[in-house]
Amino acid sequence: MKDTMIGVDLAKSVYQLHGATMTGEIKFRKKLSRLQFCRFMADQSPAIVVLEASGSAHYWARELGKLGHEVKLIAPQYVRPFVKRQKNDAADAEAIVIAAQRPEMRFVVPKTEDQQARAVLFRFRERLVHQRTEQMNALRAILYEQATVSR
């Protein structure tokens, strides 16, 4: 039975964890490097792990799921109202747990590797189309200045 909820604030090199019981009692607060985080989560008994939805959160959801944890992703805008004090990684990790314990909270479904790859291709194509349009508009403006194109 999963009696622990772990909120994780992901960062580039140091991850902040906030562990609590399902009733809200604090079990631990930890600041771990990426390698320490992997080891710590592998040693933990299965728990509910909650992350803010971001690009790397989908990767971690898949990895933590392989370790037997139940992973939930929560949109950052739903976490923000639960930050009690100044904004920092530790406060964010605690707010993630508090927000996730709300019965009406909605979660984001973790993406598969295939879904993330398709999303990257889609964003890349959108960027190319935007750049092409921008360059054509710039060329058209230059030609208008030279009076070589009629309006």
Residue 122 located in a structural domain? yes
108's CB contacts (< 8 A; 6+ apart) are 53, 73, 74, 75
Residue 93 lies in a domain: yes
Q: Which domain holds residue 72?
A: 4-100
What is the share, in percent, of the chain residues with pLDDT greater than 70? 97
Specify whether 96 is located in the same domain as 117: no
Mean pLDDT of 60-72: 93
Check whether residue 76 and residue 143 sit in a common domain. no
pLDDT digits (tens, 9 = 90+) for 116-140: 899 999 999 999 999 999 999 999 9
Residue where a domain terminates, one of 80, 100, 120: 100
Question: Phi first, then psi: what are they for 60, rounded to 5°?
Answer: -65, -35
Residue 74 has pLDDT above 90, yes or no: yes
d(CA 43, CA 38): 9
The reply to whether 94 and 119 lie within a common domain is no
> CATH no. for residue 80?
3.30.420.10
Residue among 42, 35, 40, 32 nearest 67 (CA): 42
Q: Is 62 part of a structural domain of the chain?
A: yes
- 41 and 15 belong to one structural domain: yes
Tell me what the pLDDT averaged over the chain comes to. 89
pTM, entire model: 0.77
Q: Domain tally for the chain? A: 2
Tens digit of each residue's pLDDT (9 = 90 or more) over 18-61: 999 888 888 999 999 999 999 999 999 999 999 998 878 999 99
Question: Are residue 12 and residue 79 in the same domain, yes or no?
Answer: yes
Domain contains 107: no
